[in-house]
Amino acid sequence: MIERIQKLLASAGIASRREAERMIEQGRISVNGNIAKLGEKAELTDTLRLDGKIIRLNRRPEVKHRILAYHKPEGQICTRSDPEGRPTIYQKLPHLRSGRWIAVGRLDINTSGLILLTTDGELANRLMHPSAEIEREYAVRVLGEVSDAMLRQMRKGVELEDGMASFNSIRDAGGQGANHWYHVTLQEGRNREVRRLWESQGVRISRLSRIRFGSIILRRGLKSGEWDELMRTDINQLRKSVGLPLVEDMIEDEKPSKRSTHKGRKKPIKAKARQSVYKKRK
């Protein structure tokens, strides 16, 4: 089967389609010894290289299953490596026998909370695409007085440097004095959008944490720097939300390796309303 190179790379778990397109534009991908061009097609029998190293294109089953819900701490960045030597979200993830973990979007260095990572480039691409309109929920602690007029304005919309932005909802989550908590939701993943919306009202954020991505909620009790592995029910909720077929069962190659498994729950527990059930991992 002949397919676009970025789709082959995503299907093989090498990168999301967006990442693959950037690799091609940067001249890092070659096909049978020739530098690939964006839009070019290839097939599984072709020899593809990334930075000179051969890429394994043996297609695994059409649907890949592994997704992690990682509790990102402040101070970590969402890139694979950093010239300044700062810690990244990839350093403590479980080892994979093939493919690699692909982050679904990013959180900036000063933002903590839920970030999803998957071995499925196609799923990552669809979840990140603006057309999916996946709702994100954040817990925000603000410094300064917040008026009803400010809240109405942020719901209605604010003109930022990259266009109009607004919150779907804003809920008072309590707090005393100048430090007050709110829960906000929106359906975009623009750079620092939550911070910029609040700053447009002259209010500074002192803490920001993502607590939900679509149907997946950051589990209460999951410590910063630890991760949960999503079970099939939660994976299928995500896949259904972006129009992908549901998975039937995990394949052997996608199960955690012995090096990456940790003691978790012995028995499944019932999920509360809107709360997902995971297999615990560190």
Structural domain contains residue 268: no
Is residue 222 in some structural domain? no
In a domain, 78, yes or no: no
Domain closes at, from 20, 35, 54: 54
- Is 91 contained in some domain? no
Q: Which domain holds residue 41?
A: 3-54
| 231 belongs to a structural domain | no
Q: How far is residue 154 from each of residues 118, 143, 169, 214, 279, measured CA to CA in Å?
A: 32, 16, 9, 21, 37
Output the domain CATH number for residue 48: 3.10.290.10
Question: Who contacts 109 (Cβ-Cβ below 8 Å, separation ≥6)?
Answer: 74, 75, 76, 77, 86
What is the Cα–Cα distance from 259 to 25, expressed in whole angstroms? 36
Instruction: Show the tokens assigned to 86.
Output: 């700062």
SS3 146: coil
- In the predicted model, what is the mean pLDDT of residues 10-29? 86
Q: Has residue 104 got a pLDDT over 60?
A: yes
pLDDT surpasses 60 at 263: no
Q: Which of 181, 213, 245 is the last residue of a domain?
A: 213
Average pLDDT on 40-56 reads: 89
Domain end among 167, 192, 213: 213
**pLDDT at res. 277:** 39
CATH number of the domain where residue 163 is located: 3.30.2350.10
How many CB atoms sit inside 10 A of residue 40's CB?
14
The total domain count for the chain is 2
pTM: 0.70
Q: How many CB atoms lie within 10 A of CB 17?
A: 21
Q: What is the DSSP letter of 169?
A: E
Position 92 scores a pLDDT of 83
Out of 11-20, 79-88, 116-125, which region has the weakest mean confidence (pLDDT)? 11-20
Q: Mind listing the pLDDT tens digit for each residue in 119-132? A: 988 899 899 998 89
Which of 51, 108, 162, 172 is labelled catalytic?
A: 108
108 given a catalytic annotation: yes
254 has pLDDT over 60: no
